[in-house]
Structure 1
């Protein structure tokens, strides 16, 4: 049975444990074993940096055990995907794992910016600090878009349907 590492900012939600259980259950429905980061056992009575290191090492080990990574790439705390999730995708891709992402929409990344947040220049757009906004017709930064096998417009289960 192939193992799927479930990446995404879902771990920060109030109902993160329940979400994880549901995602793992959905994996089982499609014949996969789901690996959810919050299933790792970490001693939270330690010093904060030690807790952080233990979480990091446990997640790295879980990614190494996985055959596939499915990542929630929806925007989180801004216009980009969660930075931890992005790192997990890059690490998994570097290990040669199959990496898939899902997003609510596959619209062009530049559409994350409102009319009052992007400014047209000669053939490109910039943000309010005059930094160029990439426009490669991907829904996310090109480094993620080009490193994942596929980005699905939809939910976690939509990815499982596509790969099962």
Structure 2
């Protein structure tokens, strides 16, 4: 049975355990084994940095065991995806594992800025801090967009369906 590592900031939600159970169940319904970061067993009765390192190593182990990574790339605490999720995607890509993402809205990144949040300077779109805004018609930074096999507009199950439809068995 193919294994899916479920990456994303969903682990920070108040109902994170239930979200994980739902995602794992969706995987099972399509014939996959879902692996959610909160499935790891970590001793929380130790130094904070030791806890963090244990989580880090446990998630690395799950990514290594996975056949594919599905990542929630929705904006998290700003306009960009969760940095931990982005790291996991890059790590999986570096291991040669296929990476799929999903976003509620996959319009080009530039279109995600309101007119009050950007301006044109010397023919380039910049944000209110004067930093260039990527304009490659991808919904997220080019490094993630180019490393993902596909970014699906929708939710987790939409990506799992895509895998099944493309015979990722």
**TM-score between the two structures when normalised by the length of structure 2:** 0.96
What does residue range 29-44 of structure 1 map to in structure 2 within 5 Å?
29-44=29-44
Offset of residue 77 of structure 1:
0.1
Offset of residue 30 of structure 1:
0.5
Offset of residue 128 of structure 1:
1.2
What does residue range 1-12 of structure 1 map to in structure 2 within 5 Å?
1-12=1-12
Offset of residue 132 of structure 1:
0.6
Question: Structure 2: where are the runs of 5+ without partners?
Answer: 165-169
Alignment length (residue pairs): 164
- Alignment match, 2:89: 89
Offset of residue 112 of structure 1:
2.1
- Alignment match, 1:70: 70
Offset of residue 114 of structure 1:
1.4
Offset of residue 2 of structure 1:
0.3
Distance in 1 separating the partners of 2:135 and 2:124: 8
Q: Does 1:124 align with 2:108?
A: no
Of residues 91-100 and 118-127 in structure 1, the stretch that sits farther from structure 2 once superposed is 118-127
Q: Secondary structure at the match of 2:147?
A: coil
1:17-60 deviation per Cα after TM superposition (whole angstroms, max 9, x unaligned): 00000000000000000000000000001000000000000000
Question: Structure 1: where are the runs of 5+ without partners?
Answer: none
- Alignment match, 1:21: 21
What RMSD over aligned residues (CA atoms) do the two structures have, in Å?
0.6
Of residues 126-135 and 20-29 in structure 1, the stretch that sits farther from structure 2 once superposed is 126-135
**TM-score between the two structures when normalised by the length of structure 1:** 0.98
Offset of residue 115 of structure 1:
1.1
Distance in 1 separating the partners of 2:92 and 2:60: 9
Q: Does 1:163 align with 2:160?
A: no
Offset of residue 105 of structure 1:
1.2
